[in-house]
């Protein structure tokens, strides 16, 4: 790493140490790449507070919806190779999905959260999540809330089965295998970037815990009429799901398990070259990060939201994904910068420390342009 970034690393380290000392955080990883090279890699705290095991840079952490960036990246790599098309109608390769008038839904709709099938049955369970065919059957049989492209609705869980089953039908491989073989493997991080964790690697993972994220979910359930339709009570995306070995080893590709440095490395290979690896062309990168229409209110949370193809697109020129509880992975193509953060203590409602660190790193890099 370039020694010129020692001051930034010290600032990030100091901030993380203060967060841990105050009890707001427990285990934290933050990493950044600039023009294909790592400039920052900070980790602190325990991987498991119950045992005292130390968090290291190569300790994967379940990072909730930040995993959508992994799944979207798989799609773009396949499109780059000509194996998949954004405008493929999903029912053309998955006929059962065409029920209830869903025949016009495309891969593009799935990536932009406009497919119209964000909801799950209220009684769905984590055990259901471990059965790929059962979950795909639920999604295929779902009645849409709107016509394709008509409504922005965050597909919190269904995103993974929608996209993952298309990948399986088109390639004959599970989306987790494509990630491992065609993305993580070439980048040298196959043991740090997962959509389904091998059982043999479970002991390496950090253990996530709830700080106050569950309280936010209770508030959302009481105040947002569509929240429980998208995140039913038994499968809210928090520690009670992310600490289960059966879910971690299953294919649930709306979430992912990763290290911060692996996520930052993957995004760096999307916007440029990393050790000879570039995942997509500059032309495709522009298409992927172009907003799919103007910002508009989103069906679940009611906030103004902008998506590109599988990633959130922000006003500061970045794209990426963030997960409930505080993880994130974002890229700034104009700066050549990527930033990722993962953490073990899932919190909400009292600021966003990892987002603050993202801004700190972005501003430090931007100031040197």
Q: How far is CA 114 from CA 1, 29, 158, 358, 364, in A?
A: 41, 32, 12, 28, 36
Q: Reply yes or no on whether 327 is catalytic.
A: no
Pairing of the two strands 257-258 and 193-194: antiparallel
Question: Token pair of 232, please?
Answer: 């039913």
Q: Which H/E stretch holds residue 91?
A: helix 90-93
| 214: number of Cβ within 10 Å | 16
Question: Token pair of 308, please?
Answer: 């590109």
Three-state DSSP state, 275: coil
Distance (Å, whole) CA 85 – CA 66? 23
Beta-bridge partners for 338: 33, 331
> Are the C-beta atoms of 207 and 172 separated by less than 8 Å?
no
Q: Going by C-beta distance under 8 Å and a sequence separation of 6 or more, which residues neighbour residue 366?
A: 335
Cα angle 244, 245, 246; round to 5: 90
Distance (Å, whole) CA 169 – CA 175? 10
Q: Going by C-beta distance under 8 Å and a sequence separation of 6 or more, which residues neighbour residue 21?
A: none
The C-alpha torsion from 320 through 160 and 180 to 277, rounded to 10°, is: -30
Beta-bridge partners for 337: 34, 332
> Are the C-beta atoms of 29 and 339 separated by less than 8 Å?
no
Q: Tell me the Cα Rg of the chain.
A: 19
Among candidate residues 26, 37, 63, 65, the one labeled active-site is 65
Known catalytic residues are 65
């Amino acid at each position: 790493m370039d020694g010129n970034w020692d001051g930034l690393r010290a600032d990030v380290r100091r901030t993380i140490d203060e967060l841990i000392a105050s009890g707001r955080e427990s285990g934290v990883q933050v990493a950044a790449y600039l023009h294909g090279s790592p400039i920052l890699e900070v980790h602190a705290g325990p991987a498991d507070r119950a045992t005292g095991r130390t968090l290291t840079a190569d300790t994967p952490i379940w990072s909730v919806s930040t995993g959508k960036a992994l799944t979207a990246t798989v799609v773009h790599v396949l499109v780059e190779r000509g194996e998949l098309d954004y405008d493929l109608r999903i029912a053309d390769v998955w006929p059962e999905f065409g029920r209830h008038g869903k025949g016009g839904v495309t891969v593009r709709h799935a990536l932009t959260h406009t497919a119209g099938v964000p909801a799950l049955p209220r009684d769905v369970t984590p055990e259901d999540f471990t059965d790929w065919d059962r979950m795909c059957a639920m999604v295929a049989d779902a009645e849409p809330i709107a016509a394709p492209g008509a409504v922005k609705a965050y597909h919190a869980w269904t995103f993974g089965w929608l996209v993952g089953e298309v990948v399986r039908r088109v390639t004959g491989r599970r989306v987790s295998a494509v990630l491992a073989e065609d993305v993580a493997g070439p980048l040298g991080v196959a043991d740090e970037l997962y959509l389904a964790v091998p059982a043999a690697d479970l002991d390496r993972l950090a253990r996530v815990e709830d700080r106050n994220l569950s309280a936010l979910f209770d508030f959302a359930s009481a105040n947002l009429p569509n929240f429980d339709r998208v995140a039913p009570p038994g499968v809210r995306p928090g520690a009670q799901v992310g600490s289960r070995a059966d879910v971690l080893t299953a294919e649930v590709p709306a979430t992912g398990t990763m290290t911060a440095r692996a996520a930052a490395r993957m995004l760096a290979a999307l916007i440029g070259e990393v050790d000879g690896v570039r995942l997509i062309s500059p032309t495709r990168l522009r298409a992927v990060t172009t907003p799919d229409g103007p910002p508009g209110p989103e069906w679940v949370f009611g906030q103004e939201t902008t998506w590109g193809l599988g990633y959130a697109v922000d006003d500061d020129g970045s794209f990426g994904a963030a997960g409930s509880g505080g993880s994130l992975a974002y890229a700034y193509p104009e700066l050549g910068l990527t930033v990722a953060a993962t953490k073990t203590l899932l919190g909400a409602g009292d600021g966003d420390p990892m987002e603050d660190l993202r801004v700190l790193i972005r501003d430090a890099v931007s100031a040197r342009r």
